[in-house]
Amino acid sequence: MKIDEIRTADNEKLQFESGELNNEGDQWTAELRGVDNHGIVFESLSDNIHRNFQFETEDGTYTGQAVVSSVDNNEDKNFNLVTLEGKTKLNKA
């Protein structure tokens, strides 16, 4: 489902161009294109930090803990792709 907004537990808003939240049972991922908050992303990736996120989607608000599992910089297409991998169950708020 389409992601409209993401915030951390510290109420930091992630800036991105587009995003999709994929939820299948207890497994979920979020794919974000054009992420501007490189500090949050790279700190989480390098330290393998589990962060609590709140996702505002077309289907309502969801919360869950995730890690940054990958960052793919695609200079040819002028965007980066960040993948968050869920570490807890995704809960509808």
What pLDDT digit, counting tens, does each position of 8-56 carry? 988 989 999 999 999 988 899 999 998 886 677 767 666 778 899 999 9
Owning domain of residue 46:
3-92
Say if residues 92 and 40 touch (Cβ distance below 8 Å). no
Say if residues 64 and 90 touch (Cβ distance below 8 Å). yes
Structure confidence at residue 5 as a pLDDT band (50, 70, 90)? very high
* Distance separating alpha carbons of residues 34 and 10, to the nearest angstrom: 21
DSSP class of residue 41 equals H
Q: Reply yes or no on whether the pLDDT at 80 is more than 60.
A: yes
Stretch 52-78: mean pLDDT: 86
Stretch 58-69: mean pLDDT: 94
Q: How many structural domains does the chain have?
A: 1
The amino acid that residue 77 corresponds to is K
Q: Reply yes or no on whether the pLDDT at 63 is more than 90.
A: yes
Say if residues 60 and 14 touch (Cβ distance below 8 Å). no
Q: Reply yes or no on whether the pLDDT at 78 is more than 60.
A: no
